[in-house]
Amino acid sequence: MSGAGSFPETLTEQAKALAARQFSSVELTQHYLDRIKRLDPQVNSFISVCPELAFAQALAADTARARGEAGPLSGLPYANKDIFCTTGIKTTCASRMLANWRAPYDATVVRNLAQAGMVMLGKTNMDEFAMGSSNENSWFGPVRNPWDLERVPGGSSGGSAAAVAARLAPVATGTDTGGSIRQPAALCGITGLKPTYGRVSRWGMIAFASSLDQGGPMGLSAEDLAMLMNVMAGSDPRDSTSVQRPPEDFTSQLALPLSGLRIGLPREFNDGNLSAPIAASVAEAAATLEQLGAALVDVSLPHAGMAIPAYYVVASAEASSNLSRYDGVRFGHRCEAPKDLADLYSRSRAEGFGAEVQRRILVGTYVLSAGYYEAWYRKAQQVRRLIQSDYARAFENVDVLLGPTTPSTAFRLGENADDPLTMYLSDIYTTGVNLAGLPGLSMPGRAVGNLPVGLQLIGNYFGEQRLLQIAHQYQKQTGWHLARPAFAEL
């Protein structure tokens, strides 16, 4: 039972098969661990693999099922982005700074998934401290896209996206600060959801930019994400930014039709950055949703073009503050034989942080400095409010927005490594969602050649159920989300 087709691929199908006792959780876990061992050296999607923990959790799930105590997610495997703290297991953020750090506690997301009976296969590779759009900024080496091993999977959750695309895990956790769930989901041909800010607890999720970071699910289908959101979402008294809302069943509206739905098409997304084939894929998706009963409405987001500069000022400023704790004194990498305290600080940080992290710390420190705070940081926050207002006005007339997730398909490894500005522009359609704190979802559309294309749905606050409903209905109609790279057949 080691082949790619021996087990159902989606989480939903696996849950049904486990409930029907077609196989055990131990057998399913062994299937994925065998594939990881055999195929991941070519993809590099995992930093740590946890067979002992995985088998212990799988056996516990099988025992609970035998007693009639299994829940909807009991015994189902997942991959965990290496930014979520896990007790006794390395949590590295793909950085030399934390290369050997083992967390003494579980993040709330990890705890919730464990309590639901899920099986953690391992910790996935990522851009260092979640800073990047290609997953080339990792101390443990770049992740490769299963659709073309010479191309990037996107970032920062590229390891999670590549693992799901290569069928090394059915689902995975990710984090999204400026597009880091949606962008790699688009480039790897899977589905990813960035929830409303505060929907998913950030406790135990190592911070990059605290007012922007948000954890979320990644998988093959919207239905799979809905199942995960039932466990991942929820208020958390340990997280001061956690939203207090009653529990929701994110699967409850999936089957509802799209009749009467108003879908906005932002004209600013069809700009000079967007490749013609992706624009055609978005237009085709819009036509499909219209056939399913939705009405298409032209809308405007006048300040969308300011999202990238505003985002990189705000995010870099918050990164500068959050990463100041890594100083070589309390934990993390420490340089050898420092001459004095200043040498300890400077060499530990220079050795521990990679080039992209250092670049953002420097930018963030600059924009927060006394002489430039008003000109840069305050101005970026004012632009952020304008972007929020644009979305608020749009949602007075429409229910959701539809557009591209990325301006192009996956680019080649190293292609943009020496051009940070071009790299940053790969998030041009995603960063505004984070600045506004809105939910966003990326789902596969018609591919361009052999490379996936991501379609982005943006909802109003706490509109995740509607996004998942639309994506589910679209996926039932098209089936693009089930396309698999040739690599997954190995």
Place of tokens 């007790």: 87
Verify whether residue 242 is a known catalytic residue: no
Verify whether residue 180 is a known catalytic residue: yes
List the beta strands (DSSP E) in 393-467. Answer: 400-404, 440-444, 454-459
* C-alpha–C-alpha distance, residues 161 and 184, integer Å: 6
Verify whether residue 156 is a known catalytic residue: yes
395 belongs to a structural domain: no
The pLDDT, as a whole number, for residue 420 is 87
Catalytic residue among 45, 81, 201, 348: 81
80 belongs to a structural domain: yes
Catalytic residue among 25, 45, 180, 281: 180
246 belongs to a structural domain: yes
Counted domains in the chain? 1
Positions of the chain with pLDDT under 50? 1-4
457 strand-pairing partners: 402, 441
298 belongs to a structural domain: no
Q: In the 8-state DSSP scheme, what is residue 208?
A: S
Catalytic residue among 74, 138, 156, 221: 156
40 belongs to a structural domain: yes
pLDDT in tens, 188-212: 999 999 999 999 999 999 999 999 9
106 belongs to a structural domain: yes
The pLDDT, as a whole number, for residue 485 is 97
443 strand-pairing partners: 455
* Structure tokens that stand for 262 in this block: 């108003």
Q: In three state form, how does the secondary structure of 123-184 look?
A: EECCCHHHCCCCCCCCCCCCCCECCECCECCCCCCHHHHHHHHCCCCCEEEEECCCCCCHHH
The pLDDT, as a whole number, for residue 192 is 98
Closest CA to 21 of 54, 57, 70: 70
pLDDT in tens, 211-231: 999 999 999 999 999 999 999
The pLDDT, as a whole number, for residue 2 is 37
pLDDT in tens, 256-281: 999 999 999 999 999 888 999 999 99
Q: Which domain holds residue 38?
A: 11-260+483-489
53 belongs to a structural domain: yes
The domain that holds 201 is classified in CATH as 3.90.1300.10
274 belongs to a structural domain: no
The pLDDT, as a whole number, for residue 305 is 95
